[in-house]
Amino acid sequence: MSGSTTDDAFAAAYRAHYWAVSRFVARRLDPGAAHEVEEVVADVFSIAWRRRAELPPETPLPWLYAVARNCLANTVRGLGRRRRLLDRIGHHERAQHRQVVAGPDADEPGAWVHEALARLNPADQETLRLTTWEELGVDELAVALECGRGAAAMRLHRARRRLRAEIDRMNMTVTAGDHPHDR
């Protein structure tokens, strides 16, 4: 792409996806961290500007999510808060209600969904969030996770299987305590 074409593609991606990237970042940080959200989003678009020749013109959003994931990781490492952030991500149901953007729990499916999700490893949690919150398909998931399509499909399959297993495990615990087996 020529210089002005890449500049135009960046400008279009910025206009079209600024709020989606902001929501993506906000969902992954503490609800009171508006200043940090702004800083991370500024970093995302600063890096996107420098790397605008790599920006896919047809589907820039998953690529921007990949940049945002890396910026978030750097921010968390730099602030020495990785463990606390992962804990907050794992227990986001409390925070989700205080954020402007509703997540997948907007219809109140129940805390058990969040509990099951919190029991998964962070990579599985992020894979499920990208496909649920950000509504990415497998091709877009591969771009956001910076891996091949086959690897992304396998990660999603395994994450879903592990989530189902956690839900089943939780359900068995509840039913074992609530229902006698001699009926």
Tens of pLDDT, residue by residue over 77-92, are: 655 544 555 555 655 5
Cβ 53 vs Cβ 60: under 8 Å: no
**pLDDT over 90 for what percent of the chain?**
39
> What local confidence, expressed as pLDDT, does residue 78 receive?
59
d(CA 143, CA 77): 23
pLDDT band at 164; cut points 50, 70, 90: confident
Cβ 29 vs Cβ 44: under 8 Å: no
Q: Is the pLDDT of residue 117 over 70?
A: yes
> What local confidence, expressed as pLDDT, does residue 72 receive?
87
The alpha-carbon radius of gyration of the chain (Å, integer) is 19
**Which tops the pLDDT comparison, 84 or 112?**
112
Summarize the confidence of residues 146-157 as an average pLDDT: 94
> What local confidence, expressed as pLDDT, does residue 183 receive?
42
**pLDDT over 70 for what percent of the chain?**
72
Average pLDDT in the chain: 78
**DSSP 3-state helix, strand, coil percentages of the chain (rounded to 5)?**
75, 0, 25
Summarize the confidence of residues 130-155 as an average pLDDT: 92
Number of H helices, E strands in the chain: 9, 0
pTM greater than 0.75: no
